[in-house]
Amino acid sequence: MNLVTPDIGLIFWQGITFLVVLFILSRYAWKPIMKALRDREDSIQNALDEAATARKEVDELKKSQANMEEAARIEKDRILKEAKLIADKNLEEATTKASKIIGDAEEAAKQAIDKERQAAIADIKSQISTLSVQVAETLLKRELSDSNKQENLMQELINDLKVN
């Protein structure tokens, strides 16, 4: 029962033992324990700071990536517009060249047709004149076979010349 109701000597020695243990702990153990706790606290704080920095960097990278994606989209749209303009311009140029070639071909065909028509007309005139001469020759042979008819024809021609 002495432990339940301690006497003064026991309390005194327990106090001295406590103070000695406290002195030894404060002298040799307290500082390393506190240093370890402070180091642990500092490492945790550093880890939290690094995590916050990393979070900020990730946010900045996300923003940068979003900006780069937007810039790439804008550049893609610009390139597509340029390609469409170039394609439209090339199509227009090709259409213009084709129209010019077709127009030139039509003009050449018209000229060729006109030349052929003129040649055909000249040939027809030549044939008509040849036929006219042959008809006239035949008529004159019939008309002039008789001497009375010849004199009458001469008289008509002379009369026609006087009138004109």
Q: List C-alpha distances in Å: 134 to 28, 142, 150, 154.
A: 154, 12, 19, 21
DSSP letters, 86-138, are: HHHHHHHHHHHHHHHHHHHHHHHHHHHHHHHHHHHHHHHHHHHHHHHHHHHHH
**Position 96 pLDDT exceeds 90:** yes
CA distance 16 to 24: 12
- Contact call for residues 144 and 150 (beta carbons, < 8 A): yes
| Mean predicted confidence (pLDDT) in 8-14 | 87
Which residue ranges make up each domain of the chain?
8-163
Q: Please tell me whether the overall predicted TM-score, pTM, comes out greater than 0.75 for this model.
A: no
Percent of the chain with pLDDT over 70: 93
**Two tokens, residue 82:** 């340029």
Q: 30-78, pLDDT tens digit by residue?
A: 888 888 999 999 999 999 999 999 999 999 999 999 999 999 999 999 9
Q: 117-135, pLDDT tens digit by residue?
A: 999 998 888 888 888 788 7
- Contact call for residues 144 and 153 (beta carbons, < 8 A): yes
Least confident of 16-30, 89-103, 136-150: 136-150
Region of residue 43 (phi > 0: left; psi between -120 and 50: alpha; otherwise: beta): alpha
Collect all residues with Cβ–Cβ distance below 8 Å to 14 and sequence separation of at least 6: 6
Q: Please, what is the Cα angle at 145 between 143 and 146, to 5 degrees?
A: 90
Percent of the chain with pLDDT over 90: 54
